[in-house]
Structures are given as structure tokens and as C-alpha cells.
Structure 1
Amino acid sequence: MEFSYSNVNERPRGPLLTAAGLVVRGIPRVQAQALPYAEAWRRDNLAALAGTGPLWVALGDSLTQGIGAPAHDRGWVGQLRARRRPDHRVVNLAVSGARTADVLERQLPVLESLPRPDLVTLMIGSNDLMRPRYRRELVGHVDALLHRLPVGALVTTLPNPSRVAAEVNRVIARVAAERGLVVAELRDPRTSSWRGRLAADHFHPNEAGYAALAEVIGDALPD
């Protein structure tokens, strides 16, 4: 089948990230992974769609792309697949910098055009929390997203301690119960400390951090 989706974020880097990169040398180094990781996932996506076997479609942002890990397939998606779903083909639609609006407008339409997947995962919302205008729309966007996911899809909570994140998590719990979605609780003790688990930008997980995410998310999946 024809597949033209791009995992590249076409928005320019914001002024805050640009300024931070002048102070924290690891930020530009980690950010430089975005394009090669996007290209690597695109190649993998094409190969997955040409293959056979159970299909897993991953939705999200840089955390689902694996930014910060030493390779694109050493993020939580790649590690979880290796541990728990080695027979699954993975189509990763995540885009670095993506917000909930991007999943609604770009990633979900692609998901809905693909053959029916055996597993869908969604991790999104962290980028929306960074600016007030996106925070104001976050709860509504998450509600809309959850109502478009297929039954049995897995969605992760937001571990951020803010009031908005708590409201989002309440929406996730309610809609998941109503629609038969699976919830992976990232406020789990295994992902409460990031000491030694962050990449050089001090924001994205490193391979060990992604291993912890893969363990928590994997434990939420049905056998």
C-alpha cells in the first residue's frame, strides 16, 4: 500500500528551546536525533506495512519516537516490542514535538486509513503542558482523542503533578472505563525517579529511562 506519512515535525524550533540549547550543550545533540530517527521509523513503517503478522500502531511525540535513546528502536516502543511483542509489526506515527492537536489532525487519520491494528498505543500531552494556550485545550483534545481510539487501545497517563495533568488523568480514567481502553499508569513508582535515566538534554529519557517506561507499559498490556 502507498504510505506517505512523515514523522518529521515541520514547525520551527521555539525560542525557549533554542535559548536553552545555548546553556545545556546536550540539548542540540539530542535534538539532532529527530530527523534521523524520523527517517529510520519511516523505513521501518514501510517494511512493517509490507510484512505480515500482528500490527501495532504507536501514536505520540518524541517519547514514542525514542528521542534520547542511543538508537530509534531503543526507546520504549522498541524495547517493549523486543520484550513482549516480538511478533508484532510496528508502525510508529509519532512526531517529535507533537501535541494533542497533531495527533487529532494528522496521526489519527493515518491510523484510520491503515489495516485494522491488533494494538494501538497513545502517549501524548507533555508538549501541551508547556504553554498556557495549549494547556487550555488539552483536556478537550484528550477527550476527543480517546473517543476516536479503537476499543482495547492503550493510553498512558500524564505523570506531571500539575492541576491540568490531574484533570487529564481523570478524563483518561473515565473514558477508558466507558470505552474499554487500557490505561498504563506512568505515576507508577518505577517511573517516579529519573535519576540516572535522562539523556544529555536532561529532559528525554535515556535507554534506562525508556526501559522503565517499557516495563510499566508492558505490564498494563493484556497477555
Structure 2
Amino acid sequence: MDQIVNQAAKLRYMTGGKITLPMVIRLPEGGGVSAAAQHSQSLEAWLAHVPGLKVVYPSNAQDAYGLMVSAIEDDNPVIFIENKTLYAVKSEVDDELKAVPLGKACIKKEGTDVTIITYGKQVMDAMKAAEDLAGDGINAEVVDLRSLYPLDKETIFKSVEKTHKVVVVSEEVKRGAFSGEIASLIAEECFYECDAPIKRVGALNTPVPFSMSLETYMLPNHKDIEAAVKSLF
């Protein structure tokens, strides 16, 4: 990590821009595959905290392609996070489409009652939760961040201003998670737009278990998202 956080992230700044570091570092992470504590961590909050690093986290194959193109073309170090659970998920990719810009979120589903903000594998859970919530008369909007830094604050704030209720979801341990950064930004910039407390959904405060049953219990799922949303009404 020293080479990434203390060297690559800072060298362009320390040379006044004379040296560029166009490098992409692929980082498999996340639980759900019974890979145990040392191979299932979620470290995006740590990496997104470091000035000089860009961090992206796709939720599907098309975005993975588009973000990779943009990451390769960028003159800065880009951390390209890949949730291991998504390796088994197949979807169509149109390689003629343009690159996905770094720092541009995507509205996966439009809604009017509540905003669910997430990224990576949790987008699938958020979409499932939104489908179930529709049966209860709750029209949820799902925002896929795609890029953690740079962050598309404009899309986040516009969605909050529309729905006035927010749930932020990440697979990380909830304590110190990147979801807390999103929640704090909303509290700072959109406080008077919120009709209810900002809710967060994340993993329990423990290393990821090897046992599949315990791992499933520890990680967040669509039911947790649904419960968080319903608590706002």
C-alpha cells in the first residue's frame, strides 16, 4: 500500500504536474464467496480518502468496460474496484459505446418517494429492494455512483431534492464506511431538503466470516435496504 498511497498518489502533485502516472490498479474485493476475512474486505473508503487517487466501482459489465476505458486514458492513478460476486454475473456489452466518464453517476431507476444511493454489487440488491417496495406503494429511485472519486454530487443532490428521503447502501462494515461520507455531504448541502433522517445500510462490525451462513448474516442484503426505507415512512 505504501507504493500506492504514499508514492503514486502524491508524485504528480510533488512534481508540480511534470510527471503523470497513468496507471490502473484492479482491486477485487467484497464478500459473498466464502473467501474468509483476509480476502473479503471492502477498502473503498480508505482508498477514496487519499488525495491523488481516483476510485471507481462498477456494478455491471457495460460500466466496467466504459470505466476501464476512461481509467486507462486518465493521467492519474485509478483504483478499479471489482466486487468478486459480480464475476459470475453475465450481461451484454456494446464495445462501440463511448467510455463512461469518471465522476458521473447513473440513475438506474427513477422514483419519487425515496433515494437509494449505492454502488458495486449493492446496486443489484437496491434494484431488488426497489421492486419489492413498489408492491408496498413506495416508488424508490436508485442512484449508482459508479465513481467514488471524483464523486457526482450534482446527481446525488438533485435526487435528494426530488424525493426528500435517503438511504445510502454499501457492503462495507458500516462503521467508518464510504456511505458516511455520502450521508455527511447530503447533511451539509441538502439538510433542509430531507424530510427524515438519512439512513445507512452496511455490514456488521466484524471481519468477514468463512462460514457461508455467518457471512450471509453479516453482509447487507435487499431486505436490510427495504427495512431502512420503510423506517422513513
Query: TM bucket by the smaller chain?
Result: 0.3 to 0.5
Q: TM-score w.r.t. structure 1 length?
A: 0.42
Q: TM-score w.r.t. structure 2 length?
A: 0.41
Greater gyration radius: 2
